[in-house]
Structure 1
Amino acid sequence: MSPAPEFNLASRTLDDVAVAGKRVLLRADLNVPVRDGKVMDATRLERLLPTIQELSDKGARVIVLSHFDRPKGQVVPGMSLKPIAESLGRILGKPVGFAANCIGPEAENAVAALNDGDVLVLENTRFHAGEEKNDPEFAAQLAKLGDIFVNDAFSTAHRAHASTEGIARHLPSFAGRLMQAELHALEAALGNPQRPVAAIVAGSKVSTKLDLLNNLVTKVDILVIGGAMANTFLAAQGLSVGKSLQEPGLQGTALEILKTAAAKGCEILLPQDVVVAETFSANVPTKVVNVEDIPDDAMALDVGPATVEAFVKRLPEIKTIIWNGPLGAFETKPFDASTNTLAKAIAEATKEGKVISVGGGGDTVSALKLAGVHHDMTYLSSAGGAFLEWMEGKVLPGVEALSKAFSNLG
């Protein structure tokens, strides 16, 4: 599989567009956890602040577009962006307006009332069926509200929706600062990395990461496989994994991946030892065993200390690390131990300037936060699906659209 095309940031950032007095349609990701009308985690809003603040300070009339949840083309009051707009205003430290629709008279009147520097959030784009269908008419209705399109939602770039891909066909389009940072980080990780490159891929199932594994074995020098997915690779090599989660139907696929890796010169590191227990629950009795000695009545729930130590010893030779997936069932103690140990070692090497470390994916972000090292990584992507698809070598419609729109209209 070919790598995703590099997005040329040299002439497509906020450095290269005059926004004063212009209506700037900003595609953001305001899809944050909300409970009883209150934002529970404002991380995504905080990461948008550099772009919003810069546009506002430069005199743009900032019009924020976003989806929220899955209303499936219907108006669902509980999925309104209004409380999120209010939270954004508090974080931004200035009033943020809200329009009860993202197209039509309500949106048009709210946009017309803006002054230079004002910020306005339009209602959930997914209240309209045309959003997820990437309907050209709906995209055109969104586009008529602005003069310039800025996409700062890398997390939605893997979706060819009207507000991510369709709108870029109508307006000069640029990457926001968060999009710019994500693309720079991913280019540093896989596009043109400092070598040797190591990737850590873990999770519960091989089936969910087949494309990722198949792409990485052609791109990286060392591939560390952990989590329950490692059990499938161990079983494929004839080892008994007891009651451990594994996918028997994918053992042949696992062997093919190992074969491809060998042909491409990619070294694969599988667990040497594992932490096993007879039941999966917090603080149950556990023991560390070699992978050749997993008891029939036990399950592997974390990689063992010798496995982590072996990789930590390799850190001095590695220049770039990509991480997707915790090594064990990190949400339940003590099966977070290996993830925490490795995370802290990588964080220390990163702080010392010895390695570039890029992590991404929901569980990875959560695990690194629990380990207390999320601020020490070179870059930590909150993009989830978009991060994974980029790592799989797939073209992201939202990124590709920026290049096409710019070449046609910029």
Structure 2
Amino acid sequence: MAYDYVAYHEVDLEGKKVLMRVDINSPINPQTGELLGFKRIKEHSKSIKVLSDSAVVLIAHQSRPGKKDFTSLRPHAEALSSFLDREVRFSDELFSTSAKRRIEELSPGEVLLLENVRFYSEEVALKNFDFKAFSQTHIVRELSPLFDYFVCDAFSAAHRSQPTLTGFPLVLPSLAGPLLDKEVSVLTKATEDPKKPLVALLGGIKIEDSMKVAKNLLEGGAVDHVLAVGVVGNLFVWASGRKLGRPSEDVIKKEVPEYKKLLGVARDLLKRYPDKIEYPTDFAADAKGERVRVGIDDLPSRYPLYDIEVDTIAHFSNILKEAGTIIANGPAGVFELPEFAMGTHELYRAVNSSRAFKVVGGGETNAVIEALSLTRIDHVSTGGGALVSFLGGEPMPVLDALQESKKLFFPASIPSE
């Protein structure tokens, strides 16, 4: 669906004090506290540069209580300073008298990062509240009077509803930040106005997520081909009436408690869209450490199916080559093992070389793109769960809250009916 919010570029933010919600949640070495990845920090630094004429105060989270990487954001401030080539100040508090004074004294062009919002119990304890209830939380009431605008740039958290994500839009004029606006614009273009044919390459082990995306894209009529690989592909093969073999079926049963329900969904989709869904016709099995080809007519296999093989790679690569738009999420097999990485690598090389408009996402997918140095991808999404929710047609509370803020604070920009 199209979202009707106000974006950062529609408002003059020069000289304004802006509270900016980002998602710089990053992998951390729990022993040393050292940051191990910088992708989200790097992407958000670009957004901060866009607001360089404003006094910008950042709020963000790192992990959640009980996790070993639930730490302070001080290292994140240092990393942001490096990407921005200027100091990002850090406050180890959220809204103490000292923190408020630092916010009030911040000048345009300066950046201050506040401490991990999940150190404050409201952010993690309150669930299933409406936006109005979140807007009345202590953290929102304490911080909102200090700012002219709230800018949400945290697309990767846009499928969540928490005080610092959906509370501020009801009490402050709120805008979509550069990264969030780009993500929404690109994904809307890819799903609602795609250059045809639209091909969805869905893989990995998160079957439930991929089934949501496949179902929504197929029922919406936008997608022309769904190429199912990885464990997702195995599920469709099983749903087609073929036995995979105990090792591969056990993987699905272990990873997906509601696998019987998803098998039913897959059978229904195959029945309704037989010409649009494609699954592998040959596989690579792990025969005690040796890569062995298994054709679909050779199933069931007593060895686990860890990759796709040459016939499937060639067929799917040809479809990707002729695509007008590609949405890709998830690997084609156990690509972490070198002997079973071929399918994943070859399909994503085919994605990269296609002339289509290409959107990819997901942690494993992004890792493949980086490892293979694929540079012709049009958009690499920062979203994981948020990307799946958007493509799956599920609620996006942050975007809904921004729409509500437009109605409250920008009524003149809403066309009369």
TM-score with structure 1 length normalisation? 0.89
Aligned to 1:23: 17
Distance 1:175 1:308 in 2: 40
Stretch of structure 1 that moved more, 244-253 or 382-391: 244-253
Aligned to 2:236: 233
Change (3 A) 1:404 1:231: same
SS of 2:51's equivalent in the other structure is: helix
Aligned residue among 218, 236, 246 for 2:252: 246
Measured after TM superposition, the shift of residue 205 of structure 1 is 4.9
Aligned residue among 96, 107, 111 for 2:103: 111
Aligned to 1:286: 291
The percent of aligned pairs where both chains have the same amino acid is: 30
Contact 1:7 1:399 in 2 (8 A): yes
SS of 1:63's equivalent in the other structure is: strand
Deviation digits for residues 221-258 of structure 1 (CA, Å, limit 9, x no counterpart):
11011102222222232323222233462433321121
After superposition, residues 374-389 of structure 1 pair within 5 angstroms as 375-389=375-389
SS of 1:347's equivalent in the other structure is: helix
Change (3 A) 1:363 1:316: closer
Aligned residue among 251, 261, 271 for 1:259: 271
Aligned to 2:282: 273
Distance 1:228 1:178 in 2: 31
Stretch of structure 1 that moved more, 163-172 or 208-217: 208-217
Change (3 A) 1:216 1:166: same
* Equivalent AA in structure 2 for residue 46 of structure 1: K
Deviation digits for residues 337-382 of structure 1 (CA, Å, limit 9, x no counterpart):
0111111121112xxxx20110111121122222321x32110112
SS of 2:294's equivalent in the other structure is: strand
Measured after TM superposition, the shift of residue 55 of structure 1 is 1.2
* Equivalent AA in structure 1 for residue 365 of structure 2: T
Contact 1:81 1:124 in 2 (8 A): yes
Change (3 A) 1:328 1:147: same
Aligned to 2:71: 79
Cα RMSD after superposing both structures: 2.1
Measured after TM superposition, the shift of residue 78 of structure 1 is 5.9
Gaps of 5+ in 2: 254-258, 411-417
Distance 1:110 1:220 in 2: 50
SS of 1:144's equivalent in the other structure is: helix
Distance 1:182 1:131 in 2: 24
Distance 2:206 2:272 in 1: 19
Gaps of 5+ in 1: none
* Equivalent AA in structure 2 for residue 368 of structure 1: I
Deviation digits for residues 7-57 of structure 1 (CA, Å, limit 9, x no counterpart):
246xx222221222211001111211222232221111111122211212x
Contact 2:28 2:69 in 1 (8 A): no
Distance 1:151 1:276 in 2: 45
Aligned to 2:183: 182
Measured after TM superposition, the shift of residue 295 of structure 1 is 5.5
Distance 2:175 2:312 in 1: 44
Aligned residue among 342, 345, 365 for 1:337: 342
Change (3 A) 1:40 1:296: closer
**Is 1:14 aligned with 2:8?**
yes
Change (3 A) 1:389 1:77: closer
Distance 2:306 2:172 in 1: 50
Aligned residue among 313, 327, 330 for 2:332: 327
Distance 1:331 1:371 in 2: 13
Aligned residue among 56, 60, 63 for 1:62: 56
Contact 1:65 1:121 in 2 (8 A): yes
Deviation digits for residues 79-136 of structure 1 (CA, Å, limit 9, x no counterpart):
1111211221122111111112222313211101212211000111111121232642
Measured after TM superposition, the shift of residue 316 of structure 1 is 4.3
Distance 2:113 2:206 in 1: 39
Measured after TM superposition, the shift of residue 155 of structure 1 is 0.5
Measured after TM superposition, the shift of residue 180 of structure 1 is 1.6
Distance 1:34 1:252 in 2: 39
Change (3 A) 1:182 1:77: closer
Distance 1:226 1:316 in 2: 17
Aligned residue among 96, 99, 116 for 1:124: 116
* Equivalent AA in structure 2 for residue 164 of structure 1: L
Stretch of structure 1 that moved more, 133-142 or 32-41: 133-142
Deviation digits for residues 378-400 of structure 1 (CA, Å, limit 9, x no counterpart):
10112111011001011211111
Contact 1:25 1:150 in 2 (8 A): yes
SS of 1:302's equivalent in the other structure is: strand
Aligned to 2:148: 147
Aligned residue among 300, 307, 310 for 2:312: 307
Contact 2:206 2:232 in 1 (8 A): yes
Aligned residue pairs total: 388
Aligned to 1:42: 38
Distance 1:37 1:276 in 2: 39
